[in-house]
Structure formats: C-alpha cells, structure tokens
Amino acid sequence: MNAEKYNIGEEEQSLPQAVVEMLIKKGLTISAAESCTGGMFAKMITDISGSSAVLNESYVTYANEAKTKILGVKSETLEKYGAVSEQTAYEMAQGLYKVSQADVCVCFTGIAGPGGGTKEKPVGLVYVGLCIKGRVEVIKLNLKGSRDEIRNGACLEIFDKIRKKVQKL
C-alpha cells in the first residue's frame, strides 16, 4: 500500500486525511504509541490541517523502558515474548488507552529492518495494538520492502483499518 491518493467518499483524498475528517465528524479522539514507526503515524495525522481537533497525544516508545514506564507494559511480558509480539502490542494498546482515554488508540511494535530480523521474527513483522472505545485487538502485518516502505505501509494499513472500523461507529 502506498501513500497515493485514494477515492474515499465523493472526493479524492489521502487515507490519513479521510480518517482525520471522519474522526472530526464523529467527535472522536486518537492517540498513538509508536516503536518501529518512530512517530510516522502521528506525523501523518499532524500533516493534516485541523488534526488538533482529534489528536489527543502521541508517544515514541522505542525503548522497552519507555513501553514499561509510559504504557505500563509488564517487564515479564517483554522478557517472555519480546518487544515485537502480540502480547506486547496488546499491553501497549491497553496502557495507551488507560493513559490517554482517547477513543482510538494505536500502538506499533515491529522490525522495520534492514537488520534485526530472525527466522521467527523477520524484517517486516509488525504488530499493531488497536483499541477502539476500550476494546483491544492486535493486528499482525507481514510487510516487504525497505525500512521506510515497511514503516509507511504499516501506518497506511492501520489508517485503512481505522477508517473501516470508525465508519461502523
């Protein structure tokens, strides 16, 4: 998935723009905690005029210590499953919801590469904790490409997921 314009609704607009406008229209807020995406998701939101109406708060929780200190991820979870895991993404989303009380909470943890991958956890593996109105789900992505393509792709995949879920609210 690339950052091209999408035909969403009656006009051509970017996926982040469509999500921000939908959140504004529905009076919802969004927060993010990012590891592998390093703030890219929040940047995509703040690139849009009017985003201050919806972006509650955002963190780059790159280090495990930040995941624990800010989001309350258990050190036992990090030790047992690692930072890049379904369990960590789940706890990140729970913690972000607790801290921010945003209607939509998005947390990224993954391996953007080019190094750092293993057979069990290859480059391009991204777990996203998505909490909407207090309900958490974890989305597993297996992306290909360069570091930037993986990070950008993860953000756009999740914007699309949020768009589809928020439409139903």
12-167 fold: Maf protein (3.90.950)
| pLDDT over 70 (residue 3) | no
Q: What is the pLDDT of residues 101-160, one digit of tens each?
A: 999 999 999 999 999 999 999 999 999 999 999 999 999 999 999 999 999 999 999 999
Give pLDDT, residue 10. 52
Give pLDDT, residue 18. 95
Give pLDDT, residue 31. 98
User: Mean pLDDT over residues 14-27, rounded?
Assistant: 96
Q: What is the pLDDT of residues 28-76, one digit of tens each?
A: 999 999 999 999 999 999 999 999 999 999 999 999 999 999 999 999 9
User: Mean pLDDT over residues 76-105, rounded?
Assistant: 98
Q: Kindly report the pTM of this predicted structure.
A: 0.93
For every residue of the chain, DSSP letters joined together read --S--EEETTEEE-HHHHHHHHHHHHT--EEEEESTTTTHHHHHHHTSTTGGGTEEEEEE--SHHHHHHHH---HHHHHHH-SSSHHHHHHHHHHHHHHH--SEEEEEEE--SSS---SSS-TTEEEEEEEETTEEEEEEEE--SSHHHHHHHHHHHHHHHHHHHHHT-
| pLDDT over 60 (residue 9) | no
| pLDDT over 50 (residue 5) | no
Give pLDDT, residue 123. 98
Give pLDDT, residue 133. 96
Give pLDDT, residue 13. 85
